[in-house]
Amino acid sequence: MLRWAIYIDVEGSSRIYATDEAQFIASVDALMESIVRIGSLVYPEDPNRLFAHQTGGDGFIIVSDAVRTPEMPIAIATVLMQKVLESGAVAKAGISQGDFADVRGCYRTLRHLATDGDGRYRLGAGLMTVFPVMGTALTNAHRLACRWPRGARLAVDAAMVNQVPDGVVVSYTGPELIVVDWVHTRTSTMEEIRSKAGIQLPSSGELEKKLAAYVAGTGGATDEDWRHYTLCLNGCLSR
């Protein structure tokens, strides 16, 4: 069964964590809190319930029950990226579709290990944790998040978008992906999320200023292409 998936992570996390651990924690926590609010207060039941898994310490994969219109994942990802920026960092994200399932039963090794029932396995007095899920929904979304053009941008699988939803601002169109300007996109689904989840969203003008200031503050820690595409793909710099 096809599901849509959002892969999102905090950009430059290794640099941020090394120089400002409190900022790293605050930004990941802002991302996590927003996911919890959206999943618990906006989409808590079938057929729209969400499944979220933390990946790599600085990111999440968020997966649906089934594929419907692209407006829902675009709205969720846009809200999440705006909240990360509000917290003092930036994120990149990719949206795609594919299969997704719990794969722990596929690993023969795990069948012989003692477990506490919470995805943790005994290594004598130590522990091993196992990422429980896998599928093309994850790998496709992660691939789009990391593809060119690089930057703090939201990439969507072009195969999912027959018609751009109202309020979605597209800043780049390629053969395999489109890039959504998450600074200026405003949709009715985003308004529903904001209202039901109690999430306050900055104005586009405030987001522009915050993004420009963040990029300027990265200095030599980022390259020119990353800075350019982060700004121009989000309507903060002319091409």
Quick: pLDDT tens for 92-119. Answer: 999 999 998 888 888 898 888 888 777 7
pLDDT in tens, 3-17: 999 999 999 888 888
Q: Are residues 113 and 217 in the same domain?
A: no
pLDDT at site 135: 92
Domain count across the chain: 2
Identify the CATH number of the domain in which residue 48 sits.
Answer: 3.30.70.1230
pTM of the model: 0.93
Within-domain flag for 151:
yes
Q: Are residues 127 and 42 in the same domain?
A: no
Q: Which of 170-179, 184-193, 213-222 has the lowest mean pLDDT?
A: 213-222
d(CA 31, CA 82): 10
Q: Are residues 113 and 220 in the same domain?
A: no
Is the pLDDT assigned to residue 212 strictly greater than 70? yes
Within-domain flag for 238:
no
Q: Which of 80-89, 93-102, 177-186 has the lowest mean pLDDT?
A: 93-102
Within-domain flag for 190:
yes
Q: Are residues 106 and 173 in the same domain?
A: no
Within-domain flag for 239:
no
Q: Are residues 124 and 223 in the same domain?
A: no
pLDDT at site 238: 58
pLDDT at site 87: 96
CB-based contacts of 70, cutoff 8 Å, min separation 6? 4, 95, 156, 160, 161, 165
pLDDT at site 20: 87
Is the pLDDT assigned to residue 232 strictly greater than 90? yes
pLDDT at site 44: 95
Is the pLDDT assigned to residue 125 strictly greater than 90? no
Give the amino acid at 150. Answer: R
More confident residue, 200 or 16: 200
> CA-based Rg of the chain, rounded to a whole angstrom?
18
DSSP 8-state secondary structure symbol assigned to residue 60: E
Mean of pLDDT values over 14-31: 90
The domain of 110 spans 101-133
Q: Are residues 58 and 121 in the same domain?
A: no
What's the mean pLDDT when you consider all of the chain?
92
d(CA 83, CA 59): 14
Q: Are residues 82 and 161 in the same domain?
A: yes
**In the chain, pLDDT over 90 holds for what percent of residues?**
72
Within-domain flag for 237:
no
